[in-house]
């Protein structure tokens, strides 16, 4: 699978067949420290008081009694922090609730006390009166003509970019191409369907923690964030501090899946620490991790109409996508445009009109969870695709082969694709599954998916010490994927030293240059390029030094296995450590670089409400084929086997990449079958805990086989790579849906496809009420 050829791009993957994670021993032996493990002298414990109602007017918020409790050192409300609205694109958020609460997890007050118990006592002593307001509980309620407004003063917000809004519609985007009406009118078959996906959660294993400590006018914040620089910028913005006075350090991070992207609670804790002149610590309970962050996977309604030619070519697609934003926009302003791309799908469609709305409700805010909008939209469009194949009288795989985008084709937004491997993904995954003889309770489902690569600014420093060992200082954030750990291998490869000779300094904004963080599959893509460039500068210096030493041209020097040697004459060599020792006496071996920005491809479709999500840099493609078994008596489904094929460009770290695919598939199975955040009539979550929010367990895992279509992709990540970690989370639920549709006589149309929903669907199809009881 990873041929160790002379091809320069293959070398890293070959050396990385044995991947040693630098953070592995810490994590598996328990010696690694997470935020919750940190204790500082004199440290106080913070707790938040939450609204507890989904929509209401604050009539009274009296904290005096709480402040008077011995051991309580601070109680803060919106009156104690700068009056400031924040958030990218649509600044609709404040640190503390101000007059109105818009979801149950909104923070009314924060307490710092000498023990967690006293902090809890203080919360109980806060005198709150809230008059409940009518709750906008879902997408359809929000769009009703007489719907109450989630943000009465939405027009006053100071938005940026091409951001189209209207009352409860927080953002609107559309992709339009060709003459949709004419194309639909001329279609031989027209299929219309509606799909409804419920909200779900990222559910990292570690509930978040924050510790803040001031020294003079500088604050250090240890926090379990995926995005240290966003956290820093949020603190600076909300508390009015310059960037160089806020230092964010992330100890080991216990996962994120997007749930820990964005700026959340660091400013609250920093403010408490400043007010009390003591270090302050916050550790969330599992329930808080479900309720409070601005990060929920968005619920979605997708209405799609597709027109086909008599031969089964897609000629037109018209769709509407409604996305449940929740109470605040967080980072979700781009969701409509991204969802529209997914509802279009990786198909050649000459006429397109896809409207998408991000809709305010009184629920927890939605935000980027691994591949935001994609699993639900892919589930909808790929289930629809099987319906289209049936309408055209074609096999679903054949139908996809006919309509999918290939190298040189034009995508739905009018982007012309360079070399891509979607067709190969489909062929590989389908043939790997083969056509086994299936018992009547099993079926195979196929789906294809896609996902962009995101480039952003990222820098790196590198230094080679006098003994030849290397330090790489990176702004990258390890959220568990191993992507940061892979930076070591890139540095070692560039410098010709062993991986063990490279140490990383990471997750510290005080030390490293900026980076996007563990978000948008950007770590290796961006930081990899920065580390490559920074270490190449040192490699250049080493070659100069070796050229002098060996009396050869610098361009003839090769670095490898700890020595610099002359190309073609390996015996003429000098240890790299000797060169480093020489340099340590004078001209130091230092490198620093920011990753050069790739060029974005152009798009020709009309993009209304453009949030820069229609032009896809280095798009990734995938095909998942699943074998599913169904207990038709109960609706319980089980995924037995998954074949995944992915085009994510060059694969740098095969072990890490395969792990990402397997994890993404498991997450997709959860989304397909069991993960659902349920709400009551009052807009409150009914299952904010791991007993009732059903993640998949390892006992549920099917066999998962992965193949990569490795296409060297210029103008993207290091060595022809693309992004990787979100792409595996796109197509699984859709493939499961298509298998279930075969077993139940038609698509379920609700996500997740829980046992009860599957059974109800079967029961409706049977046309009889099997549970009728004569009492």
Partner 1 sequence: MTLTIATSLDEVLSAMANGARPIAGGTDLVVGARQGKVTLPADLVAIDRVTELATVATNDGTIRIGAGVTHADLLTNDIVVRQLTSIADAAALVGSPATRNVGTIGGNVMNGSPAMDTGAPLMVLGANAALTTPSGTREVALADLWTGPGQTSANADELCTALVLPQPPQSSGSAYVRLEYRRAMEIAVVGAAAAVTLDGDSISSVKVALTAVAPTIIEVDGLNSLVGSPANDKAFEAIAEAARQQARPISDLRASERYRRHTIGVMARRAAHAASVRASGQTIEVPVNRAFGIGENPENIR
The answer for residues whose C-beta is within 8 angstroms of residue 768's C-beta and 6 or more apart is none
Task: Note whether 631 binds partner 1 by CB under 8 A.
Answer: yes
Distance between CA 196 and CA 302 in Å, rounded? 6
The answer for residues whose C-beta is within 8 angstroms of residue 641's C-beta and 6 or more apart is 433, 626, 627, 702, 703, 705
Distance between CA 678 and CA 46 in Å, rounded? 28
Task: Note whether 633 binds partner 1 by CB under 8 A.
Answer: yes
Task: Note whether 632 binds partner 1 by CB under 8 A.
Answer: yes
- Residue number, 521 or 674, with CB nearest to partner 1: 674
Task: Note whether 770 binds partner 1 by CB under 8 A.
Answer: yes
Min dist. Cβ of residue 630 to partner 1 (A): 8
Task: Note whether 754 binds partner 1 by CB under 8 A.
Answer: yes
Span near partner 1 by CB under 8 A; candidates 62-70, 422-430, 563-571, 672-680: 672-680
Task: Note whether 6 binds partner 1 by CB under 8 A.
Answer: no
Task: Note whether 79 binds partner 1 by CB under 8 A.
Answer: no
Task: Note whether 759 binds partner 1 by CB under 8 A.
Answer: yes
Q: Which of 453, 615, 629, 650 binds partner 1 (CB under 8 A)?
A: 629
Task: Note whether 115 binds partner 1 by CB under 8 A.
Answer: no
Task: Note whether 630 binds partner 1 by CB under 8 A.
Answer: yes
Span near partner 1 by CB under 8 A; candidates 26-34, 275-283, 592-600, 754-762: 754-762
Span near partner 1 by CB under 8 A; candidates 186-194, 302-310, 727-735, 755-763: 755-763
- Residue number, 120 or 190, with CB nearest to partner 1: 120
- Residue number, 538 or 630, with CB nearest to partner 1: 630
- Residue number, 65 or 690, with CB nearest to partner 1: 690
Span near partner 1 by CB under 8 A; candidates 35-43, 80-88, 367-375, 766-774: 766-774
Span near partner 1 by CB under 8 A; candidates 402-410, 417-425, 499-507, 632-640: 632-640
Span near partner 1 by CB under 8 A; candidates 192-200, 271-279, 478-486, 633-641: 633-641
The answer for residues whose C-beta is within 8 angstroms of residue 335's C-beta and 6 or more apart is 171, 298, 323, 325, 356, 358, 366, 372, 373
Helices (H), 496-609: 528-550, 576-584
Q: Which of 17, 194, 686, 766 binds partner 1 (CB under 8 A)?
A: 686
Span near partner 1 by CB under 8 A; candidates 182-190, 201-209, 542-550, 670-678: 670-678
- Residue number, 571 or 770, with CB nearest to partner 1: 770
The answer for residues whose C-beta is within 8 angstroms of residue 291's C-beta and 6 or more apart is 50, 104, 105, 364, 685, 688
Task: Note whether 650 binds partner 1 by CB under 8 A.
Answer: no
Min dist. Cβ of residue 255 to partner 1 (A): 18
Structure token digits, residue 30: 């328990």
Task: Note whether 771 binds partner 1 by CB under 8 A.
Answer: yes
Span near partner 1 by CB under 8 A; candidates 70-78, 414-422, 731-739, 756-764: 756-764
Min dist. Cβ of residue 290 to partner 1 (A): 13
Task: Note whether 755 binds partner 1 by CB under 8 A.
Answer: yes
Task: Note whether 767 binds partner 1 by CB under 8 A.
Answer: no
Span near partner 1 by CB under 8 A; candidates 208-216, 514-522, 614-622, 694-702: 694-702
Min dist. Cβ of residue 442 to partner 1 (A): 10
Task: Note whether 698 binds partner 1 by CB under 8 A.
Answer: yes
- Residue number, 604 or 697, with CB nearest to partner 1: 697
Min dist. Cβ of residue 768 to partner 1 (A): 12
Task: Note whether 40 binds partner 1 by CB under 8 A.
Answer: no
Task: Note whether 560 binds partner 1 by CB under 8 A.
Answer: no
- Residue number, 310 or 773, with CB nearest to partner 1: 773
Task: Note whether 634 binds partner 1 by CB under 8 A.
Answer: yes
The answer for residues whose C-beta is within 8 angstroms of residue 585's C-beta and 6 or more apart is none
Task: Note whether 116 binds partner 1 by CB under 8 A.
Answer: no
Q: Please tell me whether the peptide bond between 752 and the residue prior to it is cis, using omega within 30 degrees of 0.
A: yes
The 10 Å Cβ neighbour count of residue 80 is: 16
DSSP labels, 699-752: GG--EEEEEE-----SSSSGGGB---SSGGGTSHHHHHHHHHHHHHTS---EES
**Beta 314-326 vs 351-360: how paired, if at all?**
parallel
Task: Note whether 137 binds partner 1 by CB under 8 A.
Answer: no
The 10 Å Cβ neighbour count of residue 30 is: 8
The 10 Å Cβ neighbour count of residue 117 is: 12
Task: Note whether 438 binds partner 1 by CB under 8 A.
Answer: no
Q: Which of 509, 533, 653, 674 binds partner 1 (CB under 8 A)?
A: 674
Q: Which of 687, 705, 715, 750 binds partner 1 (CB under 8 A)?
A: 687
Q: Which of 25, 149, 692, 745 binds partner 1 (CB under 8 A)?
A: 692
Quick check: 539 and 595 in contact, CB under 8 A? no
Using only C-alpha atoms, the chain has a radius of gyration, in whole angstroms, of 27
Task: Note whether 699 binds partner 1 by CB under 8 A.
Answer: yes
- Residue number, 350 or 755, with CB nearest to partner 1: 755
CB half-sphere exposure, 125, CA atoms < 13 A: 17
Distance between CA 758 and CA 753 in Å, rounded? 6
Min dist. Cβ of residue 288 to partner 1 (A): 13
Q: Which of 518, 515, 517, 492 is nearest to 503 (CA)?
A: 492
Cα–Cα distances in Å, from 506 out to 73, 187, 325, 376, 541? 33, 56, 33, 34, 24
- Count of chain residues binding partner 1 (CB under 8 A): 36
Cα–Cα distances in Å, from 227 out to 230, 513, 515? 5, 13, 8
Q: Which of 160, 569, 602, 678 binds partner 1 (CB under 8 A)?
A: 678
The answer for residues whose C-beta is within 8 angstroms of residue 774's C-beta and 6 or more apart is none
Helices (H), 16-138: 24-29, 64-67, 116-125
Q: How many residues does the chain have?
A: 775
x/- contact string, 707-746, with partner 1 (CB under 8 A)?
----------------------------------------
- Residue number, 218 or 757, with CB nearest to partner 1: 757
Distance between CA 595 and CA 457 in Å, rounded? 6
Task: Note whether 5 binds partner 1 by CB under 8 A.
Answer: no
Cα–Cα distances in Å, from 629 out to 440, 441, 626, 648? 9, 6, 10, 30
Task: Note whether 768 binds partner 1 by CB under 8 A.
Answer: no
Residue 66 Cα to chain centre, angstroms: 39
Q: Which of 630, 527, 3, 92 is nearest to 326 (CA)?
A: 92
Q: Which of 636, 712, 746, 750 binds partner 1 (CB under 8 A)?
A: 636
Span near partner 1 by CB under 8 A; candidates 92-100, 228-236, 707-715, 748-756: 748-756
Quick check: 507 and 501 in contact, CB under 8 A? no
Distance between CA 719 and CA 16 in Å, rounded? 14
Min dist. Cβ of residue 752 to partner 1 (A): 10
Distance between CA 93 and CA 206 in Å, rounded? 25
Quick check: 747 and 627 in contact, CB under 8 A? no
Quick check: 324 and 298 in contact, CB under 8 A? yes
Distance between CA 571 and CA 174 in Å, rounded? 64
Distance between CA 624 and CA 643 in Å, rounded? 6
SS3 call for 683: coil
**Interface residues toward partner 1, by CB under 8 A:** 441, 629-634, 636-638, 673-674, 678, 686-687, 689-692, 694, 696-700, 754-756, 759-760, 763, 770-771, 773-775
């Amino acid at each position: 699978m990873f041929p160790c050829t002379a091809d320069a791009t293959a070398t890293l993957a070959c050396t990385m067949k044995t991947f040693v994670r630098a953070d592995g021993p810490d994590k598996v032996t328990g010696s690694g420290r997470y935020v919750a493990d940190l204790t500082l002298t004199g440290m106080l414990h913070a707790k938040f008081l939450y609204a507890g109602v989904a929509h209401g007017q604050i009539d009274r918020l009296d904290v005096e009694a709480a402040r008077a409790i011995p051991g309580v050192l601070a109680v803060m409300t919106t009156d104690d922090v700068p009056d400031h609205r924040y958030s990218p694109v649509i600044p609709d958020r404040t640190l503390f609730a101000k007059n109105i609460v818009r979801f149950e997890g909104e923070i009314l007050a924060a307490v710092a006390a000498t023990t967690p118990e006293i902090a809890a006592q203080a919360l109980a002593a806060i005198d709150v009166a809230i008059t409940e307001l009518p709750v906008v509980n879902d997408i359809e309620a929000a769009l009703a003509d007489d719907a109450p407004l989630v943000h009465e003063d939405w027009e006053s917000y100071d938005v940026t970019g091409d951001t189209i809004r209207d009352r409860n519609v927080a953002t609107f985007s559309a992709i339009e191409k060709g003459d949709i009406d004419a194309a639909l009118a001329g279609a031989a078959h027209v299929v219309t369907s509606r799909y409804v996906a419920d909200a779900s959660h990222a559910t990292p294993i570690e509930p978040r923690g924050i510790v803040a400590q001031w020294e003079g006018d500088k604050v250090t914040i240890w926090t379990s964030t995926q995005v240290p620089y966003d956290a820093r910028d949020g603190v600076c913005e909300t508390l009015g501090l310059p960037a160089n006075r806020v230092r964010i350090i992330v100890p080991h991070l216990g996962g994120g899946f997007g749930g820990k992207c964005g700026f959340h609670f660091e400013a609250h804790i920093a403010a408490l620490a400043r007010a009390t002149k003591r270090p302050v610590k916050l550790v969330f309970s599992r329930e808080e991790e479900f309720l409070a962050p601005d990060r929920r996977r968005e619920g979605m309604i997708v209405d799609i109409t597709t027109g086909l030619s008599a031969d089964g070519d897609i000629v037109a697609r018209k769709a509407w996508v409604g996305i449940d934003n929740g109470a605040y926009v967080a980072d979700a302003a781009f969701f409509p445009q991204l969802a529209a791309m997914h509802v279009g799908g990786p198909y050649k469609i000459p006429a397109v009109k896809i409207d998408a709305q991000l809709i305010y409700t009184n629920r927890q805010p939605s935000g980027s969870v691994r591949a935001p909008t994609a699993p639900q939209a892919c589930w909808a469009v790929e289930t629809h695709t099987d319906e289209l194949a049936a309408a055209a009288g074609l096999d679903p795989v054949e139908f996809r082969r006919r309509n999918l985008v290939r190298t040189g084709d034009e995508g739905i937004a009018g982007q012309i694709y360079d070399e891509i491997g979607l067709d190969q993904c489909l062929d590989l995954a389908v043939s790997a599954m083969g056509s086994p003889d299936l018992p009547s309770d099993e079926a195979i489902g196929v789906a294809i998916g896609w996902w962009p690569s995101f480039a952003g600014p990222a820098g790196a420093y590198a230094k080679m010490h006098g003994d030849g060992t290397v330090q790489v200082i990176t702004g990258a954030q390890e959220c568990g994927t191993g992507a940061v750990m892979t930076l070591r291998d890139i540095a070692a490869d560039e410098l010709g030293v062993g991986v063990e000779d490279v140490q990383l300094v990471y997750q510290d904004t005080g030390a490293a240059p900026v980076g996007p963080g563990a978000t948008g599959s950007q770590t290796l893509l961006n930081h990899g390029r920065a580390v490559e460039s920074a270490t190449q500068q040192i490699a250049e210096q080493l070659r100069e030094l070796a050229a002098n030493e060996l009396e050869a041209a610098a361009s003839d020097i090769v670095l490898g296995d700890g020595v610099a040697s002359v190309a073609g004459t390996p015996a003429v060599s000098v240890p790299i450590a000797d060169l480093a020792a020489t340099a340590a006496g004078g001209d130091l071996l230092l490198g620093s670089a920011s990753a050069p920005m790739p060029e974005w491809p152009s798009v020709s479709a009309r993009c209304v409400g453009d949030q820069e999500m229609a032009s896809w840099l280095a798009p990734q493609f995938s095909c998942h084929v699943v074998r599913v078994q169904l207990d038709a008596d109960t609706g319980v489904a089980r995924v037995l086997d998954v074949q995944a094929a992915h085009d994510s460009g060059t694969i740098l770290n095969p072990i890490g990449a395969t792990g990402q695919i397997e994890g993404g598939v498991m997450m997709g199975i959860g989304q397909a079958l069991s993960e659902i955040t349920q709400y009551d009539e009052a807009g409150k979550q009914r299952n904010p805990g791991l007993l009732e929010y059903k993640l998949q367990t390892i006992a549920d895992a099917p066999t998962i086989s992965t193949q990569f279509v490795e296409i060297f992709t210029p103008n993207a990540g290091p060595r022809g790579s693309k992004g990787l970690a979100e792409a595996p989370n796109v197509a699984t639920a859709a493939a499961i849906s298509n298998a279930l549709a075969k077993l139940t006589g038609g698509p379920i149309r609700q996500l997740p496809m829980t046992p009860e929903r599957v059974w109800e669907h079967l029961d409706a199809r049977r046309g009889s009420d099997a549970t009728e009881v004569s009492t």
